């Protein structure tokens, strides 16, 4: 299927490079670590949103942005680049956080599907 190569969610060139140089087991471990860490990042982002902490919001979005880049989640990374600098009011950030959680779930499913196909 040629559609996989044009997947906007994942940096397939980066991920294929990981597979070639590190092997599938290491890539699976990297992904498992991402899944563990992202739960922490999302909790921290939510905490910053609830406390209306601009610096906390920026810091935790930045950390999650780095994690998404390391596992080739392009679309999620781009979303976090925008969120990180957001000065939206507290209520709007709650909506942004909900969208981020959904996008993260989708990115995880996309990554799992890609990895299972290898």
pLDDT of residue 70: 96
Q: Give the pLDDT band of residue 4 (cuts 50, 70, 90).
A: very low
3-state helix, strand, coil in the chain (%, to 5): 85, 0, 15
* Residue 10: both structure tokens together: 């994942």
Contact call for residues 90 and 117 (beta carbons, < 8 A): no
Question: Per residue in 24-49, pLDDT tens?
Answer: 999 999 999 999 999 999 999 999 99
pLDDT of residue 8: 75
pLDDT of residue 7: 73
Domains detected in the chain: 9-116 (1.20.120.160)
For tokens 């982002």, the residue is 45
């Amino acid at each position: 299927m040629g559609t996989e190569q044009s997947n906007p969610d994942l940096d397939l060139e980066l991920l294929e490079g990981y597979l070639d140089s590190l092997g599938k087991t290491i890539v699976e471990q990297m992904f498992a670590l991402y899944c563990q860490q992202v739960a922490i990042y999302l909790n921290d982002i939510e905490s910053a949103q609830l406390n209306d902490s601009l610096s906390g919001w920026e810091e935790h979005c930045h950390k999650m942005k780095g994690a998404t880049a390391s596992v080739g989640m392009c679309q999620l990374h781009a979303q976090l680049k925008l969120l990180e600098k957001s000065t939206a009011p507290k209520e709007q950030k709650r909506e942004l956080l909900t969208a981020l959680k959904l996008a993260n779930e989708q990115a995880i499913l996309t990554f799992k599907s890609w990895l299972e196909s290898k």
